[in-house]
Structure 1
């Protein structure tokens, strides 16, 4: 195997910049991500080559790029259910680490979020919610330190 810096890979250092999603209503998605998760609108633009209306929403150093494309196919029902979505290749979900999943889910539920399900993975609380377009978002508590 070639000498590869375990922290850099072959392309050098990486830092998450954004995650892209497609939605049927750009304004509704901007509002949802602001109200539910505290993202702020950073920029709106049109991309004539697609054509699409696009928004970047940002929280801290992380962005979500939201596309509205006229005539796009709706999200299939299986893509809205975490365990069924795994049976289709492709990107699965966006995940955020939060200090306390049950507290975060309770706040999202009070705000009207669509909770897909809550579970524990090896004793670690995890939850999935759907945004206003059905895209899956996971919330994960930091894994406890292992001896």
Structure 2
């Protein structure tokens, strides 16, 4: 089987500069590069935090995010990509930090199978953060 590693996740937003600011201020991503994709009519940026990257698209004339895509339990009822997820060491500490930064906390999960949360970026895109139990 061919070997591969994760490179990036992608999100579409209405305002590229606002998204670059949000991903930097709230999650600590730094701008790696900005570029224009003519075929998609997209002003685009790649932001990076360590080995993690997000590609942010601001496509001319794009439709807004449908309301159902903003809520995790409803979003999974529509086929397609759902979200990216990151591991955090301490969910409660992470939630406090996100609250202090004014992040839009969409959903918190505390179940026997694990715990985590979803936040929305400045355009409503869902991002999951998971605390894995000790092995």
Whichever structure has more helix as a proportion of its residues is 2
Q: What's the C-alpha RMSD, in Å, of the aligned pairs? A: 1.0
Runs of 4+ in structure 1 deviating by more than 2 angstroms, as ranges, are: none
Indicate if the aligned counterparts of 1:126 and 1:140 stay in contact, CA closer than 8 A: yes
Map 1:16-35 onto structure 2 (within 5 A): 16-35=6-25
Map 1:9-88 onto structure 2 (within 5 A): 10=1, 12-88=2-78
Indicate if the aligned counterparts of 2:115 and 2:132 stay in contact, CA closer than 8 A: no
1:107-137 C-alpha deviation (Å, 9 max, x unpaired) = 0011100000212132522111100000001
Distance 2:4 2:90 in 1: 27
Partner SS for 2:3? coil
What does residue 104 of structure 1 align with?
Answer: 94
Distance 1:144 1:124 in 2: 11
1:10-46 C-alpha deviation (Å, 9 max, x unpaired) = 3x22211000110000001000000011000000001
TM-score, length basis structure 2: 0.96
TM-score, length basis structure 1: 0.88
* Structure 1 residue runs without a partner (length 5+): 1-9
Higher alpha-carbon deviation: 55-64 or 116-125: 116-125
Map 1:133-144 onto structure 2 (within 5 A): 133-144=123-134
Based on CA coordinates, which of the two structures has the bigger radius of gyration?
Answer: 1
- Would you say how many aligned residue pairs link Structure 1 and Structure 2? 135
Partner SS for 1:72? coil
CA shift for structure 1 position 105: 1.0
